[in-house]
Structure 1
């Protein structure tokens, strides 16, 4: 590990993944790439923005009080 300041997003856990695709502004992609570079420097493991995005979203949602107060997750739609 580097001696630089710890980032809010810590080392990444291993998880099962489902692929999603989304569009974002070029400036956000540049910031995500910079964050990925800082994360790699801090934790000594190379990651890219695509790897970080799910963990960032999870951290955001788990810290959102309004979302937590919203109750149960949205139920799955039954399929025939």
Structure 2
């Protein structure tokens, strides 16, 4: 069997995660969702935005990325 250039795709099965946030963080997330709606003209519920917010944060954290590559 020959090998193709594209490797096996990563597992994209969603994992449900339940969290509790402080009232001030909840308000900030609601404000962010409102800013998103103004910017892009579409309302997206906070629970749908949180994964994208977390991904952007983790991808932008250089220290974390360096430590992760060092594993």
Give the structure-2-normalised TM-score: 0.71
Task: Kindly report which structure 2 residues correspond to 1:5-44, keeping only aligned pairs within 5 A, or say none.
Answer: 17-44=14-41
Question: Greater share of helix residues, 1 or 2?
Answer: 2
Task: Kindly report which structure 2 residues correspond to 1:1-80, keeping only aligned pairs within 5 A, or say none.
Answer: 17-72=14-69
Tell me: CA distance 1:25–1:17, structure 2 relative to 1, closer, same or farther (3 Å): same
Find the structure with the greater CA-based Rg.
Answer: 2
Q: Which has the higher contact order (CA 8 A, sep 6+)?
A: 1
Give the structure-1-normalised TM-score: 0.64
Equivalenced residues, count: 60
Q: How far did 1:20 drift?
A: 1.0
